[in-house]
Amino acid sequence: MVAITSEDCLRQGTLTEVEPTIIPRDAHPISRRDISDNALKVLYRLRKAGYQAYMVGGGVRDLSLGREPKDFDVATDAHPEEVAQLFRNCRLIGRRFRLAHVHFGPEIIEVATFRALPPPDDDVAEGERVIDNGRIVRDNVYGTLAEDALRRDFTVNALYYNIADFSVVDHAGGMEDLQGGVIRLIGDPRERYQEDPVRMLRAVRFALKLGFRIHPETAAPLPEMASALADMPAARLFDEALKLFMAGTGLSAFEMLRHYGLFEPLMPLTAEALAEEGSEDWIPFIAAALRNTDERVSADKPVTPAFLFAALLWPAVRRREAELVEAGEAQVPALQRASSEIQALQQSRIALPKRFSIPMREVWTLQPRFERRGGKRARRLLGHPRFRAAYDFLELRAQAGDASQELVQWWRDFQDQPEKPPSQKKGSGSSSRRRRGSRGRGRARAKDGGEGGAGDGGGSPEAGS
């Protein structure tokens, strides 16, 4: 069996007649024992009511690979309103794609109606399908199982488990790609990326999640089309960024995104800082933060986007801080201003909710306070609610040469014996050093003792909130 290409399945918006591969129950590993009871309830009730009912997407893909699915999705020929009539615990959501969510306590079974392929003409109800510059803005035109399969993004996500006879229906060569470890788009890659540029991030994410390779034809357009991500909703890109960086493969995601040119449209300010001469040590700094996050995810420990994004954006913050200091601004106010500016500019690409952006800024603006160890200042900082995160961040900075190891060791000793502060070595208060390169940009030189007590308040109006 050969995976279906754009010539096979999408020709001028029409469906080429392709006979699906039907994989009988005894030829695949999916068992109802491994499917959520609630998903089975939805499948059986739809079928009993006379509708087609299939488990689809990641559930079929993961069970075929012997993995435990994160969730279970259902596809059917029942329209959303008809699904709602069958389930009192159903809510209809979405304008871009109308979906039915069937609630069973904390578990939600998503039910989608088969989508149609774009017709060769515009003979659809006004407002049901909206395409703007090749991008699907809204699509609630319903079709057949075959059309729905070819409308999906990747072949490995276009497998359907039929509750009627427990077979798997494969319209796009997905089972062969699963066995071959390949992530392949259905249809012409450029057209599919133009329809929805976020598919470029999904290609990377699925390749990392499954340990697969991206098919050369699917990968080829990525560098030239990466800039299209800049036009995507910032809230949607935040969700995708979390899936990329906080799923246990964050470091590999960072490397693959940079390889395909996809990191720059997500975090352009950081990309600029990394490209600057003399910024070589920032790559190990970000890598250490991502490696730490991956290890915590693997150990089932809690992770927070606030710390991770603080690390990802820190090179841009330091670069802007250095520019302000060079223009004559004092270091602590320069850091505060740089933090505010970088955060505001980044929001247009990846929208961090305030519950993450506020602690992120606190981690940044607490950094100068580590240098002020005299009197009661050290004890006050030790009692700050963000102290632990800020100290961990200081350790990361020291690994990259952006803070002194002596400073880190002093605070480590102080945490062990806060009643007896360790002595300070003369001249060890500098938190950073200039790097080789153009004007040392990207690193601001800290002054011994800082700017008086300017850092005592944490450097952020939200400190302590």
Six-digit token string for 206? 């699925």
Tell me how far CA of residue 35 lies from CA of 27, 41, 178, 308, in angstroms.
Answer: 18, 10, 19, 34
71 is catalytic: yes
CA nearest to 352, candidates 391, 318, 312: 312
Among the listed residues 77, 148, 153, 294, the single catalytic one is: 153
In the beta sheet, which residues pair with residue 100? 92, 111
Among the listed residues 73, 139, 170, 294, the single catalytic one is: 73
**CA-based Rg of the chain, rounded to a whole angstrom?**
26
Among the listed residues 71, 196, 281, 413, the single catalytic one is: 71
> Rounded to a whole number, what is the distance in angstroms from the first to the last CA of the chain?
60
Chain-centroid distance, C-alpha 247: 9
CA 28, CA 19: separation in Å to the nearest integer? 19
Cβ(38)–Cβ(32) under 8 Å? no
Q: Catalytic positions, please?
A: 71, 73, 153
